[in-house]
Amino acid sequence: MGKIAIYPGTFDPLTNGHSDLVQRAARLFDHIIVAVATNPGKTPQFSANERIKLAQIALNGINNIEVCGFDQLLVDFAREKQASVIIRGLRAVSDFEYEFQLAGMNRKLAADIETLFLMPAEKYSYLSSSLVREISSLGGDVSEFVHPRIETALCDKMR
């Protein structure tokens, strides 16, 4: 299958910033696994199945990707999927400390798996899933930030 990379996250929900990153990664690797973490620590608003379905809809059209859920150690899931690279996004300097810690720990757990950082387009540098959820819950317009089906799902959830 060639070079496989895994792009993990909570994706609650997937935003246009995440999609931008997937598109960049898809040009660099033969196959991208978008790995949706169950992440009970974050008490996501959308269930794991909803997040997977919404990500599949938003990323439909990028041929060399698949969206999967996982509820184990990321490095174990990466190995299971034969991915040798973990993709993470860096939006701003403020992301760095957390990402540095995550990449360091993942390297400690699995020295053969590299973490690669990509920057989304500048216009997405201030975007996050929690801001999108907050804006939507207060009746704001999030159409610029998420796929139309995700916008609808957010509205339905808030109702």
Residues that bind ligand COA (CB under 6 A): 8-12, 15, 17-18, 21, 37, 39, 73-74, 89, 91, 102, 105-106, 120, 124, 127-130
Q: Which is nearer to ligand COA, 22 or 31 (CB)?
A: 22
> Is residue 157 annotated as part of the catalytic site, yes or no?
no
Among 51, 81, 88, 91, the one annotated catalytic: 91
Longest CA–CA span in the chain (Å) reads 46
> Is residue 91 annotated as part of the catalytic site, yes or no?
yes
Min CB(119)–ligand COA separation in Å: 8
On the CB side of 37, how many CA atoms lie within 13 Å of its CA? 17
Among 18, 51, 133, 147, the one annotated catalytic: 18
CA distance 31 to 100: 25
Among 31, 51, 88, 129, the one annotated catalytic: 129
The number of residues making up the chain comes to: 159
Strand order, beta sheet including 4-9? 65-70, 31-37, 4-9, 85-89, 114-118
> Is residue 42 annotated as part of the catalytic site, yes or no?
yes
Q: Which is nearer to ligand COA, 14 or 31 (CB)?
A: 14
- Nearest residue by C-beta to ligand COA? 17
Helix (H, G, I), strand (E, B) or coil at 93: helix
Residue 155: name the closest of 139, 145, 147 by CA.
139
Min CB(41)–ligand COA separation in Å: 7
Burial of residue 94, with CB atoms counted within 10 A of its CB: 0-12 exposed, 13-18 middle, 19 or more buried: exposed
> Is residue 147 annotated as part of the catalytic site, yes or no?
no
Min CB(31)–ligand COA separation in Å: 19
Q: Which is nearer to ligand COA, 2 or 23 (CB)?
A: 23
Instruction: Report the catalytic residues.
Output: 18, 42, 91, 129
